[in-house]
Amino acid sequence: MKVSVVDYNIGNIKSVVKALKYLGADVRLAANANDIKTSEKLILPGVSAFGAAMDNLKKLELIQAIQDYIKSGKWFLGICVGLQLLFETSEESPNSQGLKIIPGIVKKMDDTKLIVPHIGWNTIKILKPSIFFKGLSVNENLYFYFVHSYYVCPNDKNVIIAATNYGSDFCSAVEYNNVIATQFHPEKSQNNGLQCLKNFLEL
């Protein structure tokens, strides 16, 4: 199982690589456009501000490469900020444009009523069948680990495959053609997260 992880100087890459290697994957870091182009599967992780993440992708000349990779139809997984970057814009960085893969925006959680960032374990509700969730029981409380202050709002609600409640429901996972992306961190979510990563590797 070969998989590439985009290395663009934005957090949590080591934990993602560690989890993938634990599952027996042949992991490569993709740090330039050719690495991305030649990837069999691609993961975009991230723990950072939306604008800083896009700035790093721009400096490394990876934006077009990622867009072209996704258009090629090969499987792509975004994690945390890697989910948010797939959208058009974010309230976190109003002057920055995202990858514009999924129509919609990224909004800030209501910090007047909630403790923000949302950090820790929370459950997800699977809304639509997805190969990403194969092996997980929809009848159980499925706990995953979150660290975020912003959440995605797709224009087309049909791309939402899981939701999580924190004050109110928000989108915690999407599937859009060959793209899967999560607000939670599967690499930090123990058995449930490892099962999701295993499912992705086996696509």
pLDDT digits (tens, 9 = 90+) for 138-156: 878 999 999 999 999 999 9
CB 5 within 8 A of CB 13: yes
* 2-201 maps to CATH 3.40.50.880: yes
Q: pLDDT band for 175, please (50, 70, 90 cuts).
A: very high
CB 152 within 8 A of CB 87: yes
**Is the whole model's pTM more than 0.85, yes or no?**
yes
CB 92 within 8 A of CB 195: no
- The per-residue pLDDT for range 32-85, each reduced to its tens digit, is 999 999 999 999 998 889 999 999 999 999 999 999 999 999 999 999 999 999
Residue 46 is predicted with a pLDDT of 87
**DSSP summary character for residue 97:** B
Extract the tokens encoding 134: 């194969």
> Once rounded to an integer, what is the mean pLDDT over residues 155-164?
98
Q: How many residues does the chain have?
A: 203
Residue 117 is predicted with a pLDDT of 97
Active site residues: 80, 185, 187
- The per-residue pLDDT for range 94-140, each reduced to its tens digit, is 999 999 999 999 999 999 999 999 999 999 999 999 999 999 988 78
Residue 115 is predicted with a pLDDT of 97
